Amino acid sequence: MYNSETNVGLRGENICIVHYLGLLESVAPSKDKIGFAGSAKSLEGRSSEERLIGLVENAQLNDLLHKDSSTSKQVAVHVSNNGFKITDLSSGNVLDRVSLLCVIQCVSYEDDDGNSNVAFLVQKPLSSRLQCHLFQTKSIADADHICALLQQAFTAAVNSAKVQ
């Protein structure tokens, strides 16, 4: 799962090299809103995954998030039993650390242009805002792998809690 041409791929079991398309923030859900996506009436019949993808695509149409990797920075996403960390590969700076308890949803999908993306929806402690981190991978298999890593971390945390 490594592309030497663009240096995008997977490094190690739980570190993924991807392009960071950006961060979108919104007020947390309330009675009349479901996350980012507007009133409940406009969302009837749509799954949470469809709503998150719709949010991302709408933000891309409004130039709030990058659409493709040509103008975005390369980052390492490190998934562990504690959560995930985003590190800028060009500077080595940690862009964000997110506790596993703050992760609401992870969705991998292929957009209309054939790009493979991963969206993490998170809500940090003591915050009334939701954040959506968007990444682009080399393939849908890589995007699915990132979501699988996060699922494994959740499973490990649940199993650890059962043992204690």
Strand-pair partners of 81 = none
Q: Does domain 2-163 have CATH number 2.30.29.30?
A: yes
63 class by beta-carbon count within 10 Å (0-12 exposed, 13-18 middle, 19+ buried): exposed
Upper half-sphere CA count for residue 44 (Cβ side, 13 Å): 2
**Model pLDDT for residues 66-92, shown as the tens digit of each residue:** 998 998 999 999 998 889 999 999 999
Angle at alpha carbon of residue 34, lines to 152 and 16, rounded to 5°: 30
* Predicted local distance difference test score (pLDDT) of residue 124: 86
* Predicted local distance difference test score (pLDDT) of residue 50: 92
- 102: helix, strand or coil: helix
* Predicted local distance difference test score (pLDDT) of residue 85: 96
**Model pLDDT for residues 1-54, shown as the tens digit of each residue:** 333 333 344 445 689 999 999 999 987 665 445 455 444 555 567 888 998 999
* Predicted local distance difference test score (pLDDT) of residue 118: 98
Return the residue matching tokens 């996403």.
Answer: 77
* Dihedral over Cα of 74, 79, 85, 89: its sign: negative
* Predicted local distance difference test score (pLDDT) of residue 136: 98
Task: Output the CA torsion 3→109→103→84 (10° steps).
Answer: 0
**Model pLDDT for residues 115-149, shown as the tens digit of each residue:** 999 999 999 888 888 999 999 999 999 999 999 99
Q: Give, as one character, the DSSP assignment of residue 128.
A: S
